[in-house]
Structure 1
């Protein structure tokens, strides 16, 4: 029933504050004997495996208990953590700590705990167990508990069958031993109480079956590792149906230490402490290695994403905090394309269908680009812009790389099908132009690598004045291809280009020139 919410200093010692959830309790100052019991019996407890109680506040609107701070949380937290390795030695140490704490309680005037579970076993920074909620049975009787809530039902999984049948909130020594047996099941399996059974029939039905008189009694079913067979036998004795057959805690401490010594564990307090610290250091080293690996993988993913947004050379300068200076390129080749009739297709499609169309198409294009020395500049709607010759210069190869890429994209568009309009084929209109540009990073938020210059405008005009399923080229691009390649080119003629006047343009055809056509066809 306890939830830790805050921690802080108290007289130079770290303390934890935890709250009783939504329970109604009469104030302590109304009961002198109860107040005296808290001050002289609970606060004066001083034992290694009992959490030191600093004080309590039980007012109408604020109820809390202040105990020493245990940095590792509860035993339930440690057992459930996949980051902490628990070998057989460690599991025996946890069981011995709990048994030693309970031996002290049973031999003191407190008599018994009454609410023992893995949730009230705290773990400090040395991985020692410290039991809390000790001597608070006087508070339990004043609590108004909603027995229909899942929180209460889950808490009953640790309760002895005789107390479940009698609705006993005070508990007994024998009931504590039964609860310890359930905790041993948690330690052995690193699972919650009755984990298989609650998964199968639910916690409420599990509690009902424990209350009923079955033979054999209804208990958790578990798989036991070879080194923990003796602990398993002790666990079964602890949850015996007959309370008188359950062992006492002082005898269990001796039995657990004998079991531990059989596979080399020393009973010496200092040796055990050093082993725990070594195990803690190993766990901490493993956690640091795992976190370091996670950071490296996350850094790698971030870099890969950055390289998809910006050229690698530019991204590396930005990562180093260096300014990216604008750079002039004497001659590169730019590719522009768009989809003929895209506006009509969009009008006939739902917005998500348009998104799927462009995502499928550009994913196809992006895969093809990997095969060429080109850089994808941007996409705007159905417009697709690619350049070659920057940010890494490649001599005169930029025109050929863009030309061969254009032919590959035309071939891909021929077999491409839209999901929502599978019977219709897309027509890609492509324009190419070569010339000088200036390139640089623009913006601070979502920076972009942009190209500037009349070459960009002319390449765009080549695309807009082209035709579907054809590659329209300017004369500068054609001259480079004619000089360095044997690609098949056809002259279109002089056409008027918006904003440019009349220009001689060409079509890039699929395949190479034949031996009969060494010159450009007129």
Structure 2
């Protein structure tokens, strides 16, 4: 035996399927019916209505109410067809209106997108004929003879029967080829958009492996550079803003940052609130260039906040602080439903500490990153000295003040908030 809830759900599914079979039935025959078997007998006027539904299917190449099924249930569609002004149809009518429906007219299949015939006048004539055949009053609908005469006026056919059939098949074939070509172009475009979205969620190399059914095994990297940043005083900004304003602020900021990242050999790992995490050197190794990519990127991000404006607080200046560290780590894809490319290892924790012990409008780094940058040359480093780093003990750290050839303006110390407004973790 089915549990009661399961039985009810099953019965509801059967009823909805039965309702969909009534889409071809005239409204005067629908009252009290939930399945086609309950329609006791038809009428000539009802057959004209059904015939017009079938003609609409041929012209649109879709079943009736295909678009409307995106936001209405089959039983709601039948309520609107039967009597859109009834109390039972009130909710469905509101939904129809919200989705752009013309509630001043009868609820009928959408025949705006007709493939045949091609002529505008013929299309208009067909729509008028559909409206006549779908009239709520059976006595006003045309007879089959009148319908056939009207079709001959709209789309006259001359010649022998076989010639006409061949001509119709040729037109259908050429039209079908155009439809297939159009749908193929849409499919290719949609596939490209999907792949672009996946490549933004996962590194391209990893996305390609997954697309070809390959298992992405965790991989160890000898040395990468990890970057963290957050906003000093963000808690106060969020407190004085609505949730929508906070979302808009972060979306604007990260859109700005993401555009900058496109110019560097880096991968954005994730964002959590105002925290921004980037890595270079994986999944494709780039020698020791990872430290230089992250360092130059951090300078450009600091430069970007100079001109960034908060929409609802235009007088407020964002206080970005950065931290970076170089070292080994392990990377791999975690999860199946929403896979994420995650980094693991002490390098991640140390990079986070470099950011949390940094100050507003400055880029802070560990000794290991500074050593690589000195080897690369051209970076302006300032030793901060030895300091206690939570969980790491005493570490010698450095400030990044600039780079040879980097001519973009950087925020000055006078723009930074006082240390009392910082939160050091």
Sort the TM-score into its range (normalised by shorter chain): 0.5 to 0.7
Correspondence for 2:362: 470
Q: What residue in structure 1 maps to residue 307 of structure 2? A: 415
Instruction: Give SS of 2:400's match.
Output: strand
Give the match for residue 427 of structure 1.
Answer: 319
Is 1:78 aligned to residue 84 of structure 2? no
1:78 positional shift: 2.1
Secondary structure, counterpart of 1:414 in structure 2: coil
1:49-98 CA-partner distances (Å, limit 9, x unpaired): xxxxxxxx998x7444697998992269628464624357xx7xxx9xx9
User: Which residue, out of 224, 230, 236, partners 1:338?
Assistant: 230
Match of 1:509 among 401, 409, 420: 401
Equivalent of residue 19 in structure 1, options 18, 25, 35:
25
Change in 2 beyond 3 A, CA 1:329/1:278 = same
- The 3-state SS of whatever aligns with 1:479 is helix
C-alpha distance in structure 2 between counterparts of 1:75 and 1:430, whole Å: 62
Partner deviation per Cα, 1:473-509 (whole Å, 9 max, x = no partner):
1000000000112111100000100000110000000
Mapping of 1:116-515 within 5 angstroms? 117-118=129-130, 151-152=135-136, 187=154, 260=158, 267-512=159-404
* Distance in 1 separating the partners of 2:264 and 2:23: 64
- 2:280–2:294 contact (8 Å) kept in structure 1: yes
Question: Secondary structure of the residue that 2:238 maps to in structure 1?
Answer: helix
CA 398–276 in structure 1, closer or farther in 2 if over 3 Å, else same: same
Query: Counterparts of 2:162 and 2:53 in 1: how far apart (Å)?
Result: 21
Q: Is the 2:324–2:366 contact (alpha carbons within 8 Å) kept by the matching residues of 1?
A: yes
Whether the aligned pair in 2 keeps the contact of 1:5 and 1:18 (CA below 8 Å) is no
CA displacement at 1:368 relative to structure 2: 0.4
Alignment of 1:53-68 (within 5 A): 62-64=40-42
**Structure of greater Rg:** 1
The Cα RMSD (Å) is: 3.8
Cα contact 2:27–2:136 (8 A) shared by 1: no
Given that 1:17 and 1:64 are in contact with CA atoms closer than 8 Å, whether structure 2 keeps it comes out as: no
Q: Return 5+ residue gaps in structure 2 as ranges.
A: 1-17, 61-110, 406-425
SS of alignment partner, residue 86 of structure 1: coil
CA distance 1:272–1:23, shift in 2 (3 Å) = closer
Q: Report deviation, 1:118.
A: 4.3
TM-score of the superposed pair, with normalisation by structure 2: 0.68
User: Cα distance, 1:183 vs. partner?
Assistant: 5.6
TM-score normalised by the chain length of structure 1: 0.56
Worse overlay, 269-278 or 472-481: 269-278
SS in 1 for 2:25: strand
C-alpha deviation, 1:19, in angstroms: 2.8
Question: Judging changes above 3 Å, is the alpha-carbon distance between structure 1 residues 58 and 499 closer, same or farther for their aligned structure 2 residues?
Answer: closer
Partner-residue secondary structure (3-state), 1:74: helix
Give per-residue Cα distances to partners, 1:423-456, cap 9 Å, x unaligned: 0101101001000010000111201000011000
What is the SS of the residue equivalent to 1:22? helix
**SS of alignment partner, residue 73 of structure 1:** helix
Say if 1:364 and 1:6 are closer, same or farther in 2 by CA, change over 3 A.
Answer: closer
Q: How far does the alpha carbon of each residue in 1:224-265 deviate from its partner, in whole angstroms, 9 at most, with x for none?
A: xxxxxxxxxxxxxxxxxxxxxxxxxxxxxxxx66xx5xxxxx
Residues paired across the two proteins, number: 328
Determine the C-alpha separation between the residues in 2 that align with 1:490 and 1:469: 15
- Contact in 1 for aligned 2:296/2:403 (Cα 8 Å): no
Specify which structure has the bigger relative contact order, considering alpha-carbon pairs within 8 angstroms and separated by 6 or more residues: 2
**How far apart, CA to CA, are the structure 1 residues paired with 2:252 and 2:25?**
55
Structure 1 residue 152: Cα displacement: 3.7
What CA distance in whole angstroms lies between the structure 1 residues aligned with 2:315 and 2:174?
Answer: 63
Q: 2:24 touches 2:53 (CA, 8 Å); kept in 1?
A: no
Any idea what SS the aligned residue of 1:391 has? Answer: coil
TM-superposed CA distance for 1:282, in Å, is 1.4
Change (3 A) 1:409 1:276: same
Is the CA contact 1:473–1:505 (under 8 Å) kept in the aligned structure 2? yes
